[in-house]
């Protein structure tokens, strides 16, 4: 006689509190209790809200960018719209995006400059993250320094066996549909329907294994991202009527009216400085100003401007992006280090001014302050 043997199996992920209860029972010769399952353990320890995900789920969820924080937008209570700079975008249960707290292996990875939703200083690839958890509400006192989502990610470590993988995801341009604004601009100018360029190529490899069995392990992951996508620009320019010297306005009833170039010249006939040294040109529209306006593309839409003298010019401009991410470390007690290198070339071209900029390669090493030791 005695107490019966019991076995319980529970899955515990990063920052996930859990309580495993055992009830003593008298041993019987023919009774054995074995409770196991793959389901996540229900949190009955505290009031924090959030979900955890292991690497199997991370790999199974579709992600166009293969950037783990993008998956965090799938959590309940999250308002997330990609490519929006509004701080309300990425709000978690009312907490704005700049109030989120992103950590990797317990190290601060927050973008303090831009404060965009679910975006860290270093890019986190799917093949480098072992698990993550997002606390969306009622976080504990150890969960950070802000009122928004608490995002905790843990990187992979090596094992006693060698493992590796190589991958490439390629999206060719011929699968892309035309941008609505670009198609409208092409139709207004009588141009053929030519879709904007969208080319996405993400490739990489990861390897891990033992350095000294049961003592020292290593893990490394490299991922390259090559994006060649056209950026849709919309600028305010002169309409063809205004560039011809005509002047438009709205009357008291709100109806558009147009004064022709000849009428403008007649109204300007009393000009006293015209044809003098102070202003050597005749009355009427200034030909130099008209030449400047006609040197630029004219409006092909009405998304901006007053719709009479000014309109919108919509066009697609190349916007290439090149990213290289390397994440690696060795574990024995263990310690983790991360190096990230990225170079991005962003080009936005407008009919008024043309500019381009290149971010220099950033190489960030997580030093003493950023090393996390799991003892």
Residue range 7-34, pLDDT digits in tens: 777 766 777 777 777 777 776 666 566 6
Pair 62, 139 in one domain = yes
Specify whether the CB–CB gap between 112 and 131 falls below 8 A. Answer: no
Angle at the Cα of 78 from the Cα atoms of 142 and 44, rounded to 5 degrees: 45
Among residues 103, 135, 155, the one where a domain terminates is: 155
What is the pTM (predicted TM-score) of this model? 0.63
Pair 104, 210 in one domain = no
Which residue, among 51, 40, 66, has the nearest Cα to 15 in the 3D structure?
A: 51
Pair 75, 209 in one domain = no
Pair 126, 224 in one domain = no
Pair 63, 150 in one domain = yes
Q: Work out the average pLDDT over 136-146.
A: 77
pLDDT at site 342: 40
Angle at the Cα of 335 from the Cα atoms of 329 and 338, rounded to 5 degrees: 40
Pair 189, 85 in one domain = no
Q: Which pLDDT tens digit goes with each residue over 34-47?
A: 655 555 567 777 87
Tokens of 102: 């992103």
Q: Domain range holding 198?
A: 163-235+315-373
Strands 33-35 and 6-8: parallel
DSSP 297-311: PPP-B-SSS-SSSEE
φ/ψ (deg, to 5) at 49: -110, 140
> How many independent structural domains does the chain possess?
2
Interatomic CA distance for residues 317 and 223, integer angstroms: 26
Q: Which pLDDT tens digit goes with each residue over 241-280?
A: 999 999 999 999 989 999 999 999 999 998 999 999 999 9
Pair 322, 230 in one domain = yes
Residue 337 has pLDDT above 80, yes or no: no
* 178 within a domain of the structure (yes/no): yes
> Average pLDDT of the chain?
77
Interatomic CA distance for residues 237 and 203, integer angstroms: 41
CATH number at residue 137: 2.170.130.10
Among residues 155, 178, 205, the one where a domain terminates is: 155
* 10 within a domain of the structure (yes/no): no
Pair 130, 215 in one domain = no
Interatomic CA distance for residues 97 and 119, integer angstroms: 9
* 211 within a domain of the structure (yes/no): yes
Specify whether the CB–CB gap between 26 and 55 falls below 8 A. Answer: no
Pair 192, 339 in one domain = yes
Strands 372-373 and 335-349: antiparallel
| Those residues with Cβ within 8 angstroms of residue 55's Cβ, 6 or more apart along the chain or in another chain | 129, 130, 131, 156
Strands 198-212 and 129-137: unpaired
Pair 172, 151 in one domain = no
Among residues 86, 121, 155, the one where a domain terminates is: 155
Pair 229, 329 in one domain = yes
pLDDT at site 39: 55
Q: Which pLDDT tens digit goes with each residue over 349-367?
A: 333 333 332 333 333 333 3
């Amino acid at each position: 006689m005695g107490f019966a043997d019991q076995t319980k199996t529970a899955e515990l992920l990063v920052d996930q509190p859990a309580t495993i209860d055992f009830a003593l029972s008298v041993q019987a010769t023919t009774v054995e209790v074995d409770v196991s399952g793959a389901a996540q353990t229900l949190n009955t320890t505290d009031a924090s809200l959030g979900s955890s995900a292991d690497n199997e789920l991370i790999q199974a969820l579709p992600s166009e960018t293969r950037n783990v924080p993008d998956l965090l937008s799938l959590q309940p209570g999250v308002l997330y719209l990609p490519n929006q700079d509004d701080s309300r975008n990425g709000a978690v249960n009312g907490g704005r995006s700049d109030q989120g707290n992103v950590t990797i292996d317990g190290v601060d990875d927050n973008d303090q400059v831009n404060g965009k939703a679910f975006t860290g200083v270093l890019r986190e690839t799917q093949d480098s993250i072992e698990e993550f958890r997002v606390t969306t509400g009622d976080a504990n006192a150890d969960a950070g320094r802000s009122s928004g989502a608490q995002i905790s990610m843990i990187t992979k470590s090596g094992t006693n066996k060698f493992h590796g993988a190589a991958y490439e995801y390629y999206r060719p341009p011929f699968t892309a549909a035309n941008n609505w604004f670009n198609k409208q601009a092409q139709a207004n100018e009588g141009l053929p329907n030519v879709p904007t360029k969208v080319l996405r190529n993400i490739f990489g490899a990861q390897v891990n294994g033992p350095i000294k069995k049961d003592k020292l392990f290593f893990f490394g992951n490299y991922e390259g991202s090559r994006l060649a996508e056209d950026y849709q620009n919309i600028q305010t320019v002169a309409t063809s009527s205004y560039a011809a010297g005509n002047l438009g306005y709205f009357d008291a009833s709100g109806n558009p009216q147009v004064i022709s170039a000849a009428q403008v010249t007649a109204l300007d006939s009393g000009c006293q400085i015209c044809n003098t040294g102070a202003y050597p040109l005749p009355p009427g529209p200034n030909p130099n100003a008209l030449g400047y306006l006609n040197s630029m593309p004219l409006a092909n839409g009405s998304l901006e401007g007053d719709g009479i003298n000014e309109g919108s010019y919509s066009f697609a401009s190349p916007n290439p992006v090149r990213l290289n991410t390397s994440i690696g470390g060795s574990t024995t007690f263990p310690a983790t280090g991360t190096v990230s290198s990225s170079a991005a070339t962003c080009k936005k071209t407008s009919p008024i001014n043309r500019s381009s900029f290149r971010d220099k390669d950033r190489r960030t090493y997580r030093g003493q302050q950023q090393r996390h030791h799991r003892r």
